[in-house]
Amino acid sequence: MSTDAVSQPDPRRWITLVIIMTAVLVSALDTSILNVALPTILREFHTNLPALQWVITGYSLVFASLLIIGGRLGDIYGARRVFVIGLVLFGAGSLIASISHSVPQLVVGEAIIEGIGASLMLPATLAILSNTFTGPERSVAFASWGTAAGSAVAFGPVLGGFLTTHYSWRWSFRINLVVAPIAILGALMFMQPTQRSRDGGRIDYPGAALVAVGTFLLVFGLSSGSDYGWWEPLKPFTLYGHEAWPRGWPVSVIPFALLASALLLTAFYFVERSKEARGTDPLFRFSQLQFQGFRYGMLTSAVFSIAQLGFIFLIPEFLQSGRHLSALVSGLWLLPYGVTIIIGAQVGGRLARAFGPVRVIRAGLAVEAVGAFALVLAISPTQPVAWLVPTLVVLGLGTGFASSQLSNVIMSDIAPENAGSASGAHTTTRQLGFAIGIATIGGLLSTQTIRSAQDRINRAGFPSEIQHGLVAQVKRDGVGFTVPGSVSPADAPKLQLIVEHSVATGARFATLFVACIIATAAALSWRIPMTAPVRNTDAVDNLDVVGAYVDLPDPA
């Protein structure tokens, strides 16, 4: 970046920020909106839930598998060009999904084409903002970017419920058909071409194949272990209606997926280190891990991401299964969390300019840990739901503080020509954290709910034949257990109370786990150095160290 570019900021930079925020908003909204619409699509397509779950699971798998590749393509061919291509694919996938009349067609549009588009688009936005904003504006601009991504996760279920109830689930995709062309036109008109790799660069095909397949298998194993069984098979693994891995086999498909992933990713590491040693073009430069801000920041972010979506998962389950609220009303109770994430991200971006981003990260994680431990006490089957609101406010503020500045610190040492692949690696670790978090938190919630319900049913004094049937149903349905019609009117209220208290017990246990994970992330944040190198210090006149950090937030 030249001195002139720094001393004379692009007058169209705020339009660029709006375009990027809009694109990130629709991509982050995509899955959270669709979650609410699944029951409606299920009835309309006359299919089953396992088949339909591949729509959302497939999107996450494709997206996570190609992030590093998408980031590297931005380094080689220019981030703006790759951003536009990603938007084109994202819009095309949305069109196919919006007119789909079968699960395979929906999978192709949503999971495959949109997933590829998002994996190109999101890493490219980081390089674009890095080249567009300088000095003190940088933290504010990227905090705004993070606000769009973070708030979409909380607001998505509410918007999805509204569109599905009053219009059609297809509007979840039609929104993208309006936004994508506008964003493409805006990018071509207002965004400056971004810096490419200095030596032109070449695509590392062996590395791309290894990391794509390895990450795909890793995310699949982590996110699907509870469905297929971590060791003992719970159900067959099917592809296009055919049993690729029967349930009768002695071991589930999951251990083999995780083992194959470990072998492929290990091979990826050695291939990339060899390429880097020979001076060729690796997909990802592992030598970048020597930078403490990048290494410990990414580790903190990965641990933090295990817990980050925990509340979006736990609170609706508790409210719907334990308090019998609708999906839409449950989403509305999460609004304080989403609103305070927005506030926290904006305030955190400004505080970073005064106190430094590392202090803001540490304060945010500490605040969030306090809120998480308080939420353990606030979850109750008998107290008003409003008791949750103060803890959600504290959680949202802490999340906004930490998430607005973590990527800032992580990317501060990375050269501009490697920003795409580095941000892709960072976002990949976050996606893995999300997969680990959802699998672990969901497993804890289900296990503890079943255990509590069994104990309560055994002590409730039901007749033995009824008791055995109820225990079997609890083991089968887990958190989704409902009072069967065969229970007498006299026993139904007692059983309903058991269900409510059991779900609350499971939710409290899982929330305690989330709180401990956040506390671990807070402890790790103390390994992040307080200062980091300032890029282009000769071209930045009288800017403080904080202002010269590169603030790169990630999708929630």
Angle at which helix 13-45 crosses helix 137-166, to 10 degrees, equals 30
Strand, helix or coil at 3?
helix
Lowest mean pLDDT among 154-163, 335-344, 439-448: 154-163
Q: Which of 235, 251, 280 is the last residue of a domain?
A: 280
Residues 195, 218, single domain; the answer is: no
Nearest of 23, 151, 38, 140 to residue 80 by alpha carbon: 23
pLDDT band of residue 48 (cuts 50, 70, 90) is low
First to last CA, the chain: 30
Q: What is the mean pLDDT of residues 221-226?
A: 77
Residues 120, 60, single domain; the answer is: yes
The one-letter amino acid code at 556 reads: A
Say what the pLDDT of residue 35 is. 65
Distance CA 304, CA 333 (A): 23
pLDDT band of residue 474 (cuts 50, 70, 90) is confident
Angle at 360 between CA 358 and CA 366, to 5 degrees: 105
CATH number for the domain spanning 428: value is 1.20.1250.20
Question: What are the tokens at 277?
Answer: 């040693």
Max mean pLDDT among 34-38, 179-183, 535-539 falls in: 179-183
Residues 190, 61, single domain; the answer is: yes
pLDDT band of residue 486 (cuts 50, 70, 90) is low
Strand, helix or coil at 143?
helix
Phi, psi torsion values for 443, nearest 5 degrees: -65, -45
Strand, helix or coil at 193?
coil
Q: What is the pLDDT of residues 11-32, one digit of tens each?
A: 778 888 888 888 888 777 776 6
Whether 6 is covered by a domain: the verdict is no
Cα-only R_g, the chain: 24
More confident residue, 280 or 117: 117
More confident residue, 265 or 335: 265
Report the 10 Å Cβ neighbour count for 279.
8
Phi, psi torsion values for 239, nearest 5 degrees: -130, 120
Strand, helix or coil at 539?
coil
Question: Hunting for tokens 């339009």 — which residue is that?
Answer: 15
- H runs (alpha helix) in 167-252: 171-190, 205-228
Residues 142, 212, single domain; the answer is: no
Whether 461 is covered by a domain: the verdict is no
Residues 187, 157, single domain; the answer is: yes
Whether 272 is covered by a domain: the verdict is yes
Distance CA 29, CA 36 (A): 12
Lowest mean pLDDT among 55-64, 113-122, 339-348, 529-538: 529-538
Whether 540 is covered by a domain: the verdict is no
Strand, helix or coil at 410?
helix
Question: What are the tokens at 123?
Answer: 């890493």
User: Is residue 241 pLDDT above 90, yes or no?
Assistant: no
Mean of the per-residue pLDDT values of the chain: 79
Lowest mean pLDDT among 183-192, 303-312, 462-471: 462-471
Residues 198, 213, single domain; the answer is: no
Say what the pLDDT of residue 516 is. 94
Angle at which helix 419-459 crosses helix 388-410, to 10 degrees, equals 150
More confident residue, 146 or 92: 92
pLDDT band of residue 538 (cuts 50, 70, 90) is very low
Say what the pLDDT of residue 556 is. 32
DSSP secondary structure of 411-475: TTTS-GGGHHHHHHHHHHHHHHHHHHHHHHHHHHHHHHHHHHHHHHHHHTT--HHHHHHHHHHHH
Say what the pLDDT of residue 256 is. 92
* Percentage with pLDDT > 90 across the chain: 15
Q: Which of 154, 179, 203 is the last residue of a domain?
A: 203
Residues 221, 188, single domain; the answer is: no
Question: What are the tokens at 370?
Answer: 């306090």
pLDDT band of residue 537 (cuts 50, 70, 90) is very low
Lowest mean pLDDT among 46-50, 77-81, 186-190, 346-350: 46-50
Question: What are the tokens at 307?
Answer: 């817990």
Max mean pLDDT among 125-139, 159-173, 331-345, 454-468 falls in: 331-345
Q: Is the dihedral of CA 529, 531, 536, 538 positive or negative?
A: negative
More confident residue, 493 or 39: 493
Whether 165 is covered by a domain: the verdict is yes
Q: Which of 217, 247, 280 is the last residue of a domain?
A: 280
Residue 236 domain boundaries = 206-280
Strand, helix or coil at 283?
coil
Say what the pLDDT of residue 554 is. 35
More confident residue, 556 or 160: 160
Residues 223, 348, single domain; the answer is: no
User: Is residue 7 pLDDT above 70, yes or no?
Assistant: no
- 318 Cβ partners below 8 Å, 6+ apart? 379, 503, 504, 507
Residues 343, 328, single domain; the answer is: yes
User: Is residue 58 pLDDT above 90, yes or no?
Assistant: no
Phi, psi torsion values for 187, nearest 5 degrees: -65, -40
pLDDT band of residue 391 (cuts 50, 70, 90) is very high
The one-letter amino acid code at 307 reads: A
Q: What is the mean pLDDT of residues 380-402?
A: 90
User: Is residue 534 pLDDT above 50, yes or no?
Assistant: no
Distance CA 78, CA 523 (A): 37
Which run of H or of E encompasses 392? helix 388-410
Whether 467 is covered by a domain: the verdict is no
Residues 235, 170, single domain; the answer is: no
Residues 403, 430, single domain; the answer is: yes
Q: What is the pLDDT of residues 132-171, one digit of tens each?
A: 776 667 667 767 776 777 677 667 767 777 777 778 878 8
Whether 128 is covered by a domain: the verdict is yes
Residues 121, 233, single domain; the answer is: no
What is the count of structural domains for the chain? 3
Lowest mean pLDDT among 290-304, 464-478, 491-505: 464-478
Whether 302 is covered by a domain: the verdict is yes
Say what the pLDDT of residue 90 is. 93
Say what the pLDDT of residue 86 is. 93
User: Is residue 2 pLDDT above 60, yes or no?
Assistant: no
